[in-house]
Chains A and B, each alone.
Chain A
Amino acid sequence: MMKSRIFYLYKITFFIIIMSITNITKADVNISSYETKNGIKVLFFKSDNIPMIDIKITFDAGSNRDGDKKGLSMLTHSLLDEGTSAKKSEEIASIFESNGSIFNTSVNKDRSSISLRSLTQQKYLNPSLRMFLEILSDSSFPNNEVNLQKKRTISTIIEDQSDPSEIASNLFFKEIYGDHPYSHPSVGYADSVKKISRKNIKDFYEKNINAKNASIAIVSSLPKKEVIAIAEKISKSLDKSKKKITINEIRTINKKEKYIYKNFNSEQAHIYVGLVSIKRGSENHLPLYVGNYVFGGSGFSARLMQELRVKRGLTYGVYSYVYPLKEEGPFLIGIETKADQAQKSVKLIQEMLAEFIKEGPTDEELKHAKNSIINGFPLRIDSNSDILNYLSMINYYNLSKDYLKTFTSEISKITKKDIINAFNKEININSLVTLIVGNAKAKK
């Protein structure tokens, strides 16, 4: 987060639009699907112009699988390239770096991923791919690397405790999710990370970084035949354990209205208003998405930005999003403002939300939002990395291809009534959690 600071530029807007809809329109004629011999689903998009390959393996192994070892998934993923039986951390880095390839991992609440970007020339791709496969099948988690990574992680967690925006977002999720595994930050807590052992990490790896738990997305200029061969190799390196993945039990989340204020010595108050809302696959997803687009999800044109920033100068950034997960994901509104404007802003936001739930968008707003989403379609799939992320998402959430093809027409069908119904059903104004982190002036 902070590291880009030394070269940042000032941006006028503050776009946080979390894409919660998958779009592949006409482009999907080029998407091929394939299943490897041991049953891993593969989606491939051929992108001819750039001689590169992007591979992303997605696992059902996000931080919701941490159990009581909060931070386990992220720690495990961060250690994957820190040693195999045959190679030390720096040898691994050296193979990727000297071939110009990029190894990456990511962890969110549901999913994790391991990815590789490489040039397609054999002399670069072959060694990079071999290394990648070795990590998948034989990461060894040396003790010294585990200890170093834990130390760095804990240090970062402690640092974040002095950052009001981190404090606010961590606390907000804790409040809306309670005991649910979505409640903790993926990085974990200092105490919980301290307790993670090498054995915990190895077990997590064996159990989760596994063919039974994986899907593959590839975008490349390589011909399909070569891509299939690569997918089979990946599939084979992941075929290391027959252990069955336990399915998470479905947990109920207690939704209750709450107001929380936490004192923190900063000039701005960091505010969240929201609640746990829908699962992916919910019939209300699209109406909520379009409604939220009008309310707070479309940057400058959204109501929140217009009312709080443009008309009143209360903030640099205010936004809202709906983020469906495998289980119920959050709907939230976020804003930062000078402490003595916190209460005023909260009141305004709550009134605006109540009105929106009741009245929905105006006809003009709805028309605008639909046009914007439909016209903007090509922008969402205009790079290999965008397409890769969509393929990964389609795989992970089992989204049907037909659904994707009809996406724009589905959007165009949404009515004001659908939106009002969806907001009424999924966003109960009487269960909102309001959280303010800031100095004494921000308090009621």
Chain B
Amino acid sequence: MNRFLRKNITNFLVGVNVFILLTLFLTPNSRADVMEKTLDNGLNVILKKDTRAPVVTSHIWYKIGSADEISGKTGLSHALEHMMFKGTKKYPGGVFSQAISKLGGKENAFTSKDYTAYYQTLPSQYLEEALKFESDRMNNLVISKSDFLKEIEVIKEERRLRTDDQPEGIAYEQLYASAYNNSSYHDPIIGWMEDLNSMTEIDISNWYKNWYAPNNATVVIVGDINFEKTMDLIKKYYGSKEKVKIKNRIIRDEPPQFGEKEISIQIKGKPSYIIMGYKVPSLNTKDVDPLDCYALSVLSGILSSGQNSRLQKILVREKKVASYADSGYSMFSRNDPLFLIDINPIVGEKIDKIQSELQKIIDDLKKNLVKKSELDRIKAQVLASEVYQRDSIDYQARILGMIKTSIGDISLIEKYTENINKVTASQVREVAKKYLVFKSKTIVTVNDEK
């Protein structure tokens, strides 16, 4: 997809933007459609009925991500995710993947700072097959040295593709590494290349034993299912798994920041780019009114959702200095996240000029109340996306899995719209004043090498 078309797809629901949108728009679950249970061994189970098509998506979410890693051992969660496709004693090599493929299913996995998730989407009559394999690899994975040595090369290729050859990828990585001194959000999900070079299969194996257990996981199944039968299947395959003592998570609290951090990256022959972040709270942050998070979410919408949003209107249309501008915030982070803004300048425009225009936009939000029409726009979009999101079972499962894993309480989804609707113009101004400040700001600029 060319960026050019983004103008038309900054609206929600387009695949590439899925995770930006998560920050803003959620589908409430009517209680009758959702069932939540915890097995005796601690496994969380969330089932959601959607009978539009004879299809089901089966997810498992582990509460383990790069946020749980330590210096020198970054990238373990993601590398383990790759190794999870290498087979078990019972189902060696690619048996699992081949079976899902033969049934006409799709499968994949993803790792974030906060979690690692695996899923299969397939015709609903084959759900049991997916559960059979997925439950088996929760504790029977075979991690061999020869597989690891090949797979780590694949991961390095992935890193080259996504980060090392991409100025925007480098800038993103540098933003987090610079913004956070101690918080493990400092480190990239994929890991530093240096750590990938020193990683061993033993590291992976230890990581697996520490974190992959029923009491650190949530199974989410959405689709054409019968609750009772599905619960029986889950008990059949997961019920006998033993609880594991999960070691204490290392809490790496972030110390205060003393002023704005500015990082300038020079890469020969690359277009300029700006990405910045303010440290802000999430719903997990202690001693913060959760309404602040909802107000920050609305603030992000004011800045970047739709053509009449501030960044679009001012930087792209009026000042004509940016070809694209975006913002994002996820209140469902385990640790304090960044409120992000990123800008692709029009080629040839001065970075300084764009920064000062951007600062004016931020200052205005701190000084003046946003218009009623702006708030109404966000609310209309939230309302509509509640409906539109029902069109994807995978999306529904992702929201449930993410919120359960990161925050622990899926009833937040039901209250989401209500809370967004409560946000007032003065609250938006208050959170802008409180959080979009120099002392929590980090900005990374990419410039052509001098």
B105 at the interface (CB under 8 A from A): yes
Nearest CB on B from A91, distance (A): 9
Cα A246 to Cα B4 in complex, Å, equals: 28
Q: How far is the CB of B5 from the nearest CB of chain A, in Å?
A: 7
Check if B2 is an interface residue, CB within 8 A of chain A.
yes
Which of A94, A148, A301, A382 makes the CB contact (< 8 A) with B55?
A382
**Binary A-proximity of B300-323 (CB < 8 A = 1, otherwise 0):** 000001111000010011001001
Judged by a CB distance under 8 angstroms, whether A373 is at the interface is: yes
* Among B19, B55, B101, B168, contact of A372 (Cβ-Cβ < 8 Å): B101
A33 to chain B, nearest CB (A): 22
State how many angstroms separate the Cβ of B276 from the closest Cβ of chain A: 11
Cβ contacts A12-29/B at 8 Å (1 or 0 each): 110100000000000000
Instruction: Assess whether B150 is in contact with A312, with CB atoms less than 8 Å apart.
Output: yes
B160 touches A338 (CB 8 A): yes
B414 an interface residue at 8 Å Cβ cutoff?
A: no
- Cβ–Cβ < 8 Å partners of A100 in chain B: 380-381, 383-385
A260 at the binding interface (Cβ < 8 Å): no
Which residues of A are found within 8 Å of B121, using beta-carbon distances?
379
A312 to B151, CA, bound (A): 9
310-343 of chain A: CB within 8 A of chain B:
310-317, 336-338
* A368:B306 contact, CB within 8 angstroms: no
Question: A12's contact among B9, B53, B85, by CB below 8 Å, is which?
Answer: B85
Please judge, given known A-B contacts A152-B323, A315-B157, whether A50 and B390 are in contact too, CB under 8 Å: yes
Q: Which residue of B lies closest to A374 (CB)?
A: B104
A4 in complex: contacting residue of B5, B20, B165, B347, CB < 8 Å: B20
Q: Number of B residues whose C-beta is below 8 Å from A?
A: 105
A371 is an interface residue with CB less than 8 A from chain B: yes
Find A90's partner among B78, B108, B307 (CB 8 Å cutoff).
Answer: B307
Q: Does B270 lie at the interface of the complex (its beta carbon under 8 Å from any beta carbon of A)?
A: yes
From residue B15, how far is it (CB to closest CB) to chain A in Å?
8
Contact A6 B328 (CB under 8 A): yes
Which residues 271-323 of A have a CB within 8 angstroms of B?
A: 298-301, 306, 309-317
Stretch at the interface among B36-44, B240-248, B288-296, B338-346: B338-346
Closest A-chain residue to B381, C-beta based? Answer: A100
Among residues 373 to 396 in chain A, which have CB atoms less than 8 Å away from a CB atom of chain B? 373-379, 381-385
Interface-lining segment among B109-117, B134-142, B202-210, B278-286: B109-117
Binary flags per residue of B383-417, CB closer than 8 Å to A gives 1, else 0: 11101101111000000000000000000000000
Report 7 cross-chain contacts, Cβ distance below 8 Å, ordered by A residue. Answer: A7-B17, A7-B22, A102-B12, A155-B346, A186-B2, A383-B391, A383-B392
The interface of chain A, by Cβ under 8 A from chain B, is 1-13, 15, 47, 49-52, 74, 78, 81, 89-90, 93-94, 97-106, 117-119, 124, 148, 151-156, 158-160, 162-164, 185-187, 265-268, 298-301, 306, 309-317, 336-338, 368, 371-379, 381-385
